[in-house]
Amino acid sequence: MIRPLLATALAVTISLPGQDPPVRALGARLPPSVGPFIEIAGVRELRDERVIVLDKQDRSLHVVDLRSGNASPLGRDGDGPGEYRLPLRILALAGDSTAVYDMGNSGRFVVYAPDGKPARPIPIEYRGSSGAAEATDAQGRLYTAERGVRGLADRYLGKIVRWDRNTGRRDSIATMSFQLVSPLPVPLGPVTVPFWTRDQWAVAPDGRVAVVQVEPYRVTLYHPDGSRVVGPLVPVDRIRVSNGHKEEWREDWKRPRGAIIGTEYTFRRLPVPEPSKWPEYLPPFMPDAVRFASDGMLWIRRTTGAGAPATFDIIDAQGRVAAKLELPTRTRLVGFGNGTIYLARTDDQEMEYLDRYRLP
């Protein structure tokens, strides 16, 4: 369903020595605006002005024609070829093919050819010790995280592994820590610790792997040839945890979450646990904050004041903050295309619409 909407703009901040960063507009939103959806979990832009949209809570996939705004379903509920039970993640493969991670069918990847027909599935062995592949590059190679398994000494240490489906080759590309980071003690049991985070990683189209460290905040880029670039420390203005942050945390807990109950695949709301203690300050970024754009720049969503728009550090090839970008209010980043950025915008009824902009 297409609704005419007023154009809005993004703003980018360029840091120059010796002066305050100026803010400039990136331009109007590109038509059309598509929706409504319940919760957009990801998009995959194709080369023919179509985009695949994953609606996580609706447990559905849609192919949207960006020229007309028309949408059609992709696949359906089930266990057969091209079917899924609980799709949670979408990945781009080579040749405009698309992989969809289905938590409800033994964690397999359903694969679709560019025409929407089921293609050769990804074998189950393309998994790391931490689960299914989480990223791909422009060649369609799969990347997953593998944690240490030898014992307590290395349970928080791990590596990023690249799998080439054509050759079967498996390479370790980067190393990183999986230790939870919080000023509060992080127990192994069910005690709730608010605003914890950890080091994160992402894969660029050209196969570079970025590891983003929390303490201290810096970016290390691992190149396919084995070399690496260690970026400078990124200054952090600590943000004090406010009552507004606490309320946002409680609201986030109320969101339905995917679950498998017996043979039923569904989303359900969990009881909101009230922490016994809150940290004094927020970390520089929270989980799921890191991803590469199609131009090879790394985007890191920073923590902000309660109710503030999403703000990103844009990292260059040397691991430096080249720009800062603020999204329009009530939007969140859900994906990139060829020179484009896709945002999910929430309306007053808590429904989401897919908006598209050009990259800066």
Q: Is the pLDDT of residue 18 over 50?
A: no
What is the pLDDT at residue 288?
94
Where residue 5 falls among pLDDT bands split at 50, 70, 90?
very low
Structure confidence by residue, pLDDT tens digits, 325-339: 999 999 999 999 999
pLDDT, residue 2, reads: 35
Residue 77, pLDDT > 80, answer yes
Q: For 212-231, what is the mean pLDDT?
A: 96
pLDDT reported for residue 103: 83
Average pLDDT over residues 178-195: 82
Q: Is the pLDDT of residue 290 over 80?
A: yes
Q: How confident is the model at residue 133 (pLDDT cuts 50, 70, 90)?
A: confident
As a whole number of angstroms, the distance between CA 52 and CA 59 comes to 13
| pLDDT at residue 17 greater than cutoff 50 | no
Report the distance separating Cα 128 and Cα 260, nearest Å.
Answer: 21
Q: What pLDDT, on a 0 to 100 scale, did the predictor assign at position 131?
A: 59
Long-range contacts of 224-233 (CB under 8 A, 24+ apart): 224/173, 228/174, 229/317, 229/318, 229/319, 230/319, 231/315, 231/318, 231/319, 231/320, 232/319, 232/320
Rounded-to-integer distance, Cα 171 and Cα 36, Å: 41
Read off the pLDDT of each residue in 228-257 and give the average, rounded to a whole number.
93
Query: What CA–CA distance (Å, rounded) separates 156 from 180?
Result: 8
Q: Higher confidence at residue 243 or residue 124?
A: 243
Average pLDDT over residues 50-73: 94
Contacts of 149 by beta carbon, 8 Å cutoff, 6+ apart: 129, 155
Q: Which pLDDT tens digit goes with each residue over 134-166?
A: 899 999 999 998 876 555 455 678 899 999 888
14 falls in which pLDDT band (50, 70, 90)? very low
Q: Which sequence spans correspond to the domains of the chain?
A: 9-124+327-360
- pLDDT above 90 covers a percentage of the chain that reads 62
Q: What are phi and psi of 245, to 5 degrees?
A: -60, -40
> What is the dotted CATH code of the domain comprising 9-124+327-360?
2.40.10.500
* Mean pLDDT (whole number) for 201-208: 96
Residue-averaged pLDDT of the chain? 86
pLDDT at 4 over 80: no
When pLDDT is cut at 50, 70 and 90, the band that residue 6 belongs to is: very low
Say what the pLDDT of residue 124 is: 62
- Neighbour order of strands in the sheet with 331-337: 30-37, 352-358, 340-346, 331-337
pLDDT value of residue 138: 93
CB 202 within 8 A of CB 220: no
The least confident of 178-192, 198-212, 301-315 is 178-192
Q: What is the pLDDT of residue 190?
A: 57
As a whole number of angstroms, the distance between CA 14 and CA 328 comes to 17
